Structure 1
Amino acid sequence: NQARIVAKVNAPAGADIAQIVRKTCGGLRRVYTEIEKLKMTAE
């Protein structure tokens, strides 16, 4: 649940939060890393 909240707050608009959480197995550090990757590809 905490990973979902972190992803929801920090992910770029239109990101699939559930997919991020599943991909990272709920690890907060991994969630943050995936969000950073998404931000880099969005730019």
Structure 2
Amino acid sequence: MLSFALGVLQTQNVTVALFLVPYFGNLVVANLLLFVDFASSSFSREI
């Protein structure tokens, strides 16, 4: 019974991880793009 509960918990963790990884990945990519866009615009302003 305990191993069954652990297996269910592990599969739930995998599902949650698979659900959260793309979300956080998109968040990081969006932040990077915003930062690069901001840096390039301020850099081109200085030139």
TM-score higher than 0.5:
no
TM bin, normalised by shorter chain, reads 0.3 to 0.5
Structure showing greater relative contact order (alpha-carbon pairs closer than 8 Å, 6 or more residues apart): 1
* Structure whose alpha-carbon radius of gyration is higher: 2
Q: TM-score, with normalisation over the residues of structure 2? A: 0.36
Q: TM-score, with normalisation over the residues of structure 1? A: 0.39
